[in-house]
Structure 1
């Protein structure tokens, strides 16, 4: 069955992305506490009401890109060859995701730093990570691992978060994928 995205859906996706980019830019420039939903809506050339159709708050708008990557990661884990053990499926899906999206831009490092500075962003990010952990655990439940899927999903995500923090703190002297692979190699020892 062929699925095509219609004009309306493409316009919605473009608006959502524009709001996300405006939110991120304003928060990086002015700090989360000095940015309002109204200022984000103005910067994205939409109304406050339209903003509310896309995001529950400014934190959601800032973290939208990360949420999209999380959804893609879960889909890619599910699409890995069935013969792969759970940890191999996680690593394969992650490498595939980063090959497709390329090396993250400064925006990603800025968001990582922002999340560590603002409690409301950190809280929203932790909620997103908890949802990702549940979804990954479910995606791993059909795979052989010898380790309960929730434990493996949690350990994997700790490795990803640590890699992101290390990469961000290094001021991007190495690529994220290099830092991630090194970190996940250490985390993987009990699972492989």
Structure 2
């Protein structure tokens, strides 16, 4: 996986680091003390910055909580884009997603806490949906670039990206809720394989 952060100017790297620290603090606070304990002020204090700095990066605590996961999630598209030229799109997805998603999702019980927060608070649900939609859009663009398609007009990149995102979301939820004994990589492979039977190679 490429580390694009190291290519940024120092000032931008500091901004990325501050954003990551704020998100990590918000996530950790939710896990340890519950969603209601997280506030701009508490997160900013944990990082050693002002609440104004927090608001420069995030519109609210819900966005901050999911941002670390969202940033990792966006790297899936980059990994698909790094696959060998000419490799069929579905093969690229089969190679990347099962191997990458466990590290992106992190601890199973922690992710289950996030899902519960998403169910309990509409603003958390909104941020979760935004995360998946941004990932779908990025993946659409990458697949379009690989296939020479127009992402604004052609159906194929959108269908591939939508199917992959659905497989990811379904797998992650079933895994986090312990609704299956399958390891997460095998669960994703199963979802993708079943989808491929209807979408083609």
TM-score (norm 2): 0.78
Residues 45-102 of structure 1 show CA distances to partners (whole Å, capped at 9, x for unaligned) of: 2210121233222112111122212221111111111211121122223245347x37
Provide the C-alpha distance between the structure 1 equivalents of 2:129 and 2:85, rounded to a whole number of angstroms: 30
Provide the C-alpha distance between the structure 2 equivalents of 1:45 and 1:125, rounded to a whole number of angstroms: 27
| 1:65/1:188 CA distance change after superposition, 3 Å | farther
Quick check: 87-96 or 132-141, which moved more?
Answer: 87-96
Residues 114-150 of structure 1 show CA distances to partners (whole Å, capped at 9, x for unaligned) of: 22332111111112222221221221124399x7221
Provide the C-alpha distance between the structure 1 equivalents of 2:136 and 2:106, rounded to a whole number of angstroms: 22
Q: Which runs of 5+ in 1 are unaligned?
A: none
| 1:107/1:11 CA distance change after superposition, 3 Å | farther
Provide the C-alpha distance between the structure 2 equivalents of 1:102 and 1:173, rounded to a whole number of angstroms: 20
Whether 2:160 is the aligned partner of 1:152: answer yes
**SS across alignment from 2:159:** helix
Quick check: 62-71 or 168-177, which moved more?
Answer: 168-177
2:184 is matched with 176
| 1:178/1:113 CA distance change after superposition, 3 Å | farther
TM-score (norm 1): 0.81
User: Which one of the candidate residues 69, 73, 79 is aligned to 1:70?
Assistant: 73
1:21 is matched with 24
Provide the C-alpha distance between the structure 2 equivalents of 1:140 and 1:7, rounded to a whole number of angstroms: 31
What's the RMSD between the two structures over aligned residues?
A: 2.9
Asked whether the equivalents of residues 20 and 64 of structure 1 are also in contact (C-alpha less than 8 Å), the reply is: yes
Shift of 1:164: 0.5
Alignment of 1:6-85 (within 5 A): 8-85=11-88
Q: Which runs of 5+ in 2 are unaligned?
A: 1-5, 150-154
Whether 2:118 is the aligned partner of 1:110: answer no
Provide the C-alpha distance between the structure 2 equivalents of 1:15 and 1:171, rounded to a whole number of angstroms: 36
Asked whether the equivalents of residues 44 and 50 of structure 2 are also in contact (C-alpha less than 8 Å), the reply is: yes
Asked whether the equivalents of residues 22 and 43 of structure 1 are also in contact (C-alpha less than 8 Å), the reply is: yes
Provide the C-alpha distance between the structure 1 equivalents of 2:116 and 2:88, rounded to a whole number of angstroms: 33
Report how many residues are paired: 189
1:128 is matched with 131
